Amino acid sequence: MYNYNLPYMNPNMKCSNYGMDFSQEAFNNALNLIKDAVQGEREDELQYDYLISVAPSQEEKDIIVTIRDDERNHRKWYRDVYKYYTGQEVESKNGEEFVKPESYLEGISKAIFGELGAMEKYRIIREGLPVRLFRDTVFRILTDEMKHATKYNYILSKNALNRTTTTTS
């Protein structure tokens, strides 16, 4: 863990000491998790590009495109938050490897649990940030992740219903 210069002692932090509801440890943890989140959002983007390419309907492609585009925004926003606090860019890992799922529906299932797992991590990030603007940004990302999981559940349910209808006909 890296110590990011006691944010509440930094006059450039642009927040008051009154009502500080985060700790230095939570702040450091949030910044480390942001680095992970930037990488995770990139991996999601690669996975969603694949799902778009194999989606069985235009409706599903359109849904996944909106999710992928949100993930791109999340990545940018997390980069901006990290740079604001540290003055540094998040280093990207080159050569991300995408592991193709065995099926489209396996990829959708993996995406659902990926979105839910991201929410767990992003709550911790939000708790550790001292500036309301960035807490609100992370809250927006969190609600997007909930929306994404719901949309993926819709796709999964639709496909399950189609399979049931096809086999009983």
Tell me the per-residue pLDDT of 32-85, one tens digit each, with 9 for 90 and over.
999 999 998 888 989 999 999 999 999 999 999 999 999 999 999 999 999 999
Higher pLDDT, 168 or 115: 115
- The predicted pLDDT at position 162 comes to 79
| CA distances (Å), origin 43, targets 28, 100, 111, 132 | 23, 12, 11, 28
Contacts of 29 (CB under 8 A, 6+ apart): 1, 124, 128
116 φψ region: left (φ > 0), alpha (ψ -120 to 50), beta (else): alpha
Higher pLDDT, 55 or 4: 55
- Chain-centroid distance of CA 106 in Å reads 19
Tell me the per-residue pLDDT of 92-146, one tens digit each, with 9 for 90 and over.
775 566 789 999 999 999 999 999 999 999 999 999 999 899 999 999 999 999 9
Check: CB of residue 33 under 8 Å from CB of residue 124.
Answer: yes
Mean predicted confidence (pLDDT) in 149-154: 97
- The predicted pLDDT at position 42 comes to 87
- Tell me which CATH code domain 22-168 carries: 1.20.1260.10
Domain ranges of the chain: 22-168
- The predicted pLDDT at position 21 comes to 63
The Cα 84–Cα 35 span in angstroms is 13
Question: Percent of the chain at pLDDT above 70?
Answer: 80
